[in-house]
Chain A
Amino acid sequence: MSVIGTDISVSIGRKPILHGVDFAAEPGEVHAIVGPNGSGKTTLLRALTGDIFANGRITLSDRSFDRKRPWEMASIRGVLPQVTVLSFPFTVIEVVRMGLEAGPHGASPEIAHQALRDVGLEGYEGRFFQELSGGEQQRAQLARVLSQVWEPVQDGAPCWLFLDEPVASLDIGHQLGVMELARRYADRGGGVIAVMHDLNLTAMFADQVTLLSKGEVAATGEVANVLTDDLLSAAYACTLRVNMAPSAGKTFLLPQTAARS
């Protein structure tokens, strides 16, 4: 019932991006993919979702991954891209309803409104999507994806969220809100795979982390075993120290110490 990628290699043009990546994510967990710019995080996610051609074997819940029956995939898997460019003036609720009607809950229109409440966009239903700010657009898209696979477990099988940098354009309050949504989805039995830039949020919310470096897996496993001084310093090419506060008197702010009302 897991997402498994074995020996994934991807080349874009002649440039190899991923070399022999093994990846496995389990339902009930938030699995973060981290790594420096250009390490292949988004490419790995796009290979796992079937957006790009990848050598190797990728399965979702024991089903081989192909594009032949996209409507079946849509009922068990929602994918949030980094950026969505909408080409016609749909309103926010119309965009969210598109996701709802693509999944198995199309007959329950109230889910679209609940999803908008969950991402903090209540009252935005009638606004034009294109008039929203970048962060609001990203949250509206998340509401669309959530409506599509609203129940984390559907007919006894887990559903999946694939999120590409879900919090990249959000303020810290909404970052926490979105990550809590992902956390709850996993706690209720669904699977979440997220490409993450923010290592603090990764440490807070992820169960498993895969650290990519130069198109290969540098480490994978539980947070404490992957987010270590040595592994991070090597991958990000700078000296990093985990769990060390800055020298006294310097201001710093961590999402871990935020209190959410």
Chain B
Amino acid sequence: MVAETTFAPPTDRGAQAWRLHVVLWVLVLLVSLFSLSIGAAGAQVRAGLMAWIANDKLDAATRLILFDIRVPRLVLGLLVGAALAVSGGMMQGLFRNPLADPGLVGVGAGAGLGAITAIIIGATLPPFLINALGNYMIPLAAFFGGWGSTLILYRVSTRNGRTSVATMLLAGIALAALAGAVSGILVYMADDRQLRDLTFWGLGSLAGATWIKVLTAGPLIAVAILSAPFMARGLNGLSLGEATAVHMGVPLERLKTGAILTVACATGAAVAVSGGIGFVGIVVPHLLRLATGPDHRTLLPNAALLGAILLVLADCISRTIIAPAELPIGIVTAVLGAPVFLWILLRRRGVVDL
């Protein structure tokens, strides 16, 4: 338990965290403006944006690009980034493991199974149903898959009103393997075009963001993010163990149920509209714990903001780096996130249980 480097953190990391909160809000605004001003349509939209900020009229084309393409994409990016980061932070608190991730409890696998089912079986549905669901068939299926698998998992790992976190982790691994196997069978049945769809969904993207997608996922994600702070004190107590949390007045079972549902909601909705975007849920809470400590009362709100910032930035990269084509955002977050994650582990491996 000897640390390689001993350093004294300031005794009041809470005040520091709230200062960071203000800074993050400013960054959200700046990043949003930046995101709206760049893209395939280039300079004329930037000029239009400036004009609009200066309270001038916009021409029809600029208005279309701005309010029907870029703004919904920006809002979706903010929502998805916040949802992934907050559910990562909550899951890590619930499992008392800084490497836990919503993917571990089967939300990712379940959502994946839902999406794959929709892509492959969906084509055989009656035409009126396909028309009615349209582009939302895959996101909806992913959402229900993720949510349903978490609920099943919760039932499996709960006995007499008590959830065993160890059982739940192991059951999550089993369920993920099962979902993976069923997905594998479906992939085996897929034709070439479906395989291409599957690959792109799995890589994750914010392309095709619409107001309808924003309105589908937004309320769920908003409810999850807004309810997270109410569980923060309980998650702090849980870091001392389940029994000690109860002795410190934490309503343990209610906390666990709330955290699981919140995470399932946020991750399911996020994965549904954006596919498999990795590393946000693990890297963002880690960076914040390094900066201002593990207190969930500040960690969760700050994670929402930093997650939103990072995902919108990643999206900016994804749609400009090989413009006019787009790189799936999941690739960007993995390329940026994985080395940062490794760097964090290497630099701070002296401090146990980061």
Contacts and interface: CB of A to CB of B under 8 A. Distances in A.
Interface of A: 46, 49-51, 67, 70-75, 77-79, 81, 84-91, 93-95, 98-99, 101-102, 125-128, 130-131, 148
B239 A90 contact: yes
Given A85-B241, A126-B11, A73 B249 contact: yes
Given A71-B249, A88-B289, A89-B353, A128 B9 contact: yes
Given A81-B243, A91-B11, A86 B353 contact: yes
Contact of A98 (B8, B236, B241, B246): B236
Interface in B172-200: none
B249 A91 contact: no
A26 B246 CA distance: 23
B246 A50 contact: yes
Interface of A is mostly: mixed
Contacts of A101: 233
Given A99-B248, A130-B353, A87 B96 contact: yes
Contacts of A125: 11
A77 B295 contact: no
B241 to A, nearest CB: 6
Nearest to A99: B248
A95 B237 CA distance: 9
Given A84-B240, A87-B96, A91-B11, A131 B1 contact: yes
Given A70-B251, A87-B353, A94-B13, A81 B244 contact: yes
Given A70-B246, A71-B251, 14 more contacts: A49-B243, A50-B246, A51-B246, A70-B247, A70-B252, A73-B249, A79-B244, A87-B96, A88-B98, A90-B239, A90-B295, A91-B11, A130-B1, A131-B3
A49 B245 CA distance: 12
5 contacts: A51-B243, A86-B353, A88-B353, A90-B239, A126-B10
Interface residues of B, number: 36
A88 B294 contact: yes
A61 to B, nearest CB: 16
Given A98-B237, A126-B8, A49 B294 contact: no
Nearest to B249: A74
Counting chain A CB atoms within 10 Å of each CB, which of B93, B240, B353 scores highest? Answer: B240
B234 to A, nearest CB: 10
Nearest to A49: B247
B26 interface: no
A91 B13 contact: yes
B354 interface: yes
Contacts of A84: 240-241, 244
